[in-house]
């Protein structure tokens, strides 16, 4: 199975831009590239921060742009997304009665558990007792059914070596780790929030994230340095899942013309 991972569009309401970057154009170019090259993907997952200021106009723009995808899309909340504002703008998403946006997605390769890691008013994340209880129940049900599980949330639960990002990761990562410990059907953890490509493993669980379709965060591992933005180009990820492998390709879709003939070196 193939699916697409997008993250962190950080759209603002038209006609404004953010940090001098036209995020709507960048997202539209990602959608066009996906439609052109990966129309066979089963669906697209967007791991949060659909908007930057949680404006209704930004959500309307997001819905219009991703509506051009040739496959279904599924979204998570990010810390820049207001829970009430996003629910009002995108009511068709599978909101729970208590206002959370966590849900299950059954796929040919396993069950995707989409988590709500937002802690309103702060940039870091948190999984409260209700959300952890929901996750534990979903994991137990999946294990009993013999179903593989893939986890999705906005916030990274681990330090990644960039102090400015480590300060705003999932605050109660130990609770999250305790909740998923002991389940041997977990295959991969996907998240957003970092605005950087980052891959590895945490507690033995493979993880990955991808550059934002909006702005990036500068790669600075020095202590005491505040977060800085970067004009690095955006990516989306193409994920291939089989019984024995998970393969992830980060694609710099705004550089698709930067190719040359491998035999001759000829460009253009």
Residue 64's domain is classified under what CATH number? 3.60.21.10
Which sign does the torsion angle of CA 206, 178, 175, 86 carry? positive
Alpha carbon of 168 to those of 1, 7, 112: distances in Å?
Answer: 33, 17, 24
Mean pLDDT value across residues 244-256 = 97
In a domain, 263, yes or no: no
In a domain, 60, yes or no: yes
Interaxial angle between packed helices 23-37 and 56-66, expressed in degrees from 0 to 180 and rounded to the nearest 10: 20
In a domain, 104, yes or no: yes
In a domain, 42, yes or no: yes
Output b/e per residue, 187-224; b: 16+ Cβ within 10 A.
ebbbbbbbbbbbeeebeebebbbbbbbbbbbbeeeeee
In a domain, 20, yes or no: yes
pLDDT for 71-127, tens place per residue?
Answer: 999 999 999 999 999 999 999 999 999 999 999 999 999 999 999 999 999 999 999
pLDDT for 191-236, tens place per residue?
Answer: 999 999 999 999 999 999 999 999 999 999 999 889 999 999 999 9
Domain total for the chain? 1
In a domain, 175, yes or no: yes
In a domain, 260, yes or no: no
Helix or strand or coil: residue 13? coil
In a domain, 32, yes or no: yes
Domain hosting 14: range is: 2-255
């Amino acid at each position: 199975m193939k699916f697409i991972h997008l993250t962190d569009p950080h759209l603002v309401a038209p006609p404004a831009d953010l940090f001098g970057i036209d995020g709507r154009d960048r997202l539209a170019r990602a959608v066009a590239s996906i439609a052109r090259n990966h129309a066979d993907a089963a669906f697209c997952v967007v791991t949060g921060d659909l908007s930057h200021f949680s404006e209704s106009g930004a959500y309307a723009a997001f819905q219009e742009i991703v509506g051009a995808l040739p496959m279904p899309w599924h979204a998570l909340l990010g810390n820049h997304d207001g829970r009430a504002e996003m629910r009002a703008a995108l009511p068709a998403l599978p909101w729970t009665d208590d206002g959370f946006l966590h849900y299950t997605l059954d796929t040919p390769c396993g069950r995707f558990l989409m988590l709500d890691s937002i802690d309103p008013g702060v940039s870091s994340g948190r999984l409260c007792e209700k959300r952890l209880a929901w996750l534990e129940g979903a994991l137990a049900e999946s294990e009993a059914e013999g179903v593989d599980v893939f986890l999705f949330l906005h916030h990274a639960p681990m330090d990644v070596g960039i102090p400015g990002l480590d300060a705003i990761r999932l605050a109660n990562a130990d609770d999250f780790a305790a909740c998923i410990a002991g389940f041997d059907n977990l295959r991969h953890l996907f998240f957003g929030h970092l605005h950087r490509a980052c891959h590895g493993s945490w507690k033995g669980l493979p993880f990955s994230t991808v550059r934002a379709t909006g702005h990036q965060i500068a790669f600075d591992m020095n202590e005491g340095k505040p977060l800085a933005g970067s004009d690095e180009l955006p990516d989306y990820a193409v994920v291939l899942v089989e019984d024995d492998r998970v393969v992830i390709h980060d694609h710099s879709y705004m550089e698709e013309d930067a190719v040359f003939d491998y035999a001759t070196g000829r460009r253009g």
